[in-house]
A = this chain, B = another copy of it.
Amino acid sequence: MKFSQSSLTVGELATGQALSVPVFHIAGKDSHAPKVFIQANVHGAEVQGNAVIFQLMKQLEQMDVRGEVTLLPLANPLGINQKSGEFTLGRFDPITGVNWNREYLDHKTDIASWYQQHRHLDDKALIAAYRLQLIESCNAHLNSEWGVTTGKRLAVTLQSLAHQADIVIDLHTGPKSCKHMYCPEYDVAAASLFSIPYTLVIPNDFGGAMDEAAFCPWWQLTEIANSQGRRLKVPVAAFTLELGSQERIDMDDALNDAKGILAYLSQRGVVSEYVQAAEMARYACYLKDYKKFHAPIAGMVEYKAELGHILYSGETLANVLRLDRFGTHEELTELVLNQDCVPILHFASASVYQGTELYKVMTNLFKLNL
């Protein structure tokens, strides 16, 4: 089976040209199999997800696809095309500064009331009605009288597509980063089905990101239903995958990551073939234990700690060179942490202001069991 291509309009440039996103679609042969939505490159510099989608399509076209699959690479044309010097300045709206991945809609539905009105429906009908309500809420927001911002239009347009799926995967990268993923607490078992060594276990709350926008309303509905004695499992799964460093395309590694995603999709019955996740030790930490270390002083930074490897308390994280202090004991400052951690990502530039977010490290890690 081949993917068909269409185009999604997500905005308009000042010259009038449409901002459009390529949409790839395959119907799947079993309408009962889970529907999948995967997008990539919402942050402009985080390009590797496009290569992963490319490899995923190459693989899927050779496979027996049961569930509907919708893929949106290059999902943020404004962010991707926004250069500033030799790098892509695509992390936030260049006009407002708002992070492109914090613009998804919090529906703020009164879910308790909604459930009261729809509790008579069976599970399938309940889910269908709620899904429709989420999509309509997106559309209403997009058509509000006073308009919506550029970023909101992009995000909510993507979100209205994502709400149609049962599995939502948002492909990102860190700045300089090892592979890791975000997984909601209620679905932590799923993290072992991917081929990613580090998992951040996030609360089931809405924080503005796509994964949260996709699973939160469902988790909330499930909570209410369960509190009223109905046994309902959260019907939507959503994850953010951070596939290494930004500003990097590696086709071979993309194939690895595509296979990792296929392993999860295989487990979920989206494809008939069995695809095995890579064998590896998997570790996780809770979001509250994911620490941002900010540069205590400004200067030129030699990043020393290896990403994705344990750094013991007292070992060198980075060195800060301060030439203006040459000849003093502050000319070269060794930065250390006083607890064990695994550095997951570090800042992209080697010169920093005081306060720059230098490293993100996992602390209090625990092992995930397959």
Contact = CB atoms under 8 A, between A and B. Distances in A.
Contacts of A97: 91-93, 96-99
Contacts of A300: 14, 47, 50-51, 249
A166 to B, nearest CB: 24
A293 interface: yes
A97 to B, nearest CB: 3
Interface string A84-128: 111111111111111100000000000000000000000000000
A131 interface: no
A323 B54 contact: yes
Interface in A67-88: 73-74, 77-78, 80-88
A327 B22 CA distance: 13
Contact of A150 (B89, B92, B356): B356
B324 A47 contact: no
Contact of A149 (B248, B348, B357): B357
A161 to B, nearest CB: 17
Interface in A276-330: 291-303, 319, 321-327
A90 B74 CA distance: 24
A203 interface: no
A45 B349 contact: yes
B292 A86 contact: no
A351 B80 contact: yes
A78 to B, nearest CB: 7
Which 6 pairs between the two chains have the least Cβ-Cβ distance?
A147-B294, A92-B97, A97-B97, A150-B355, A12-B298, A12-B354
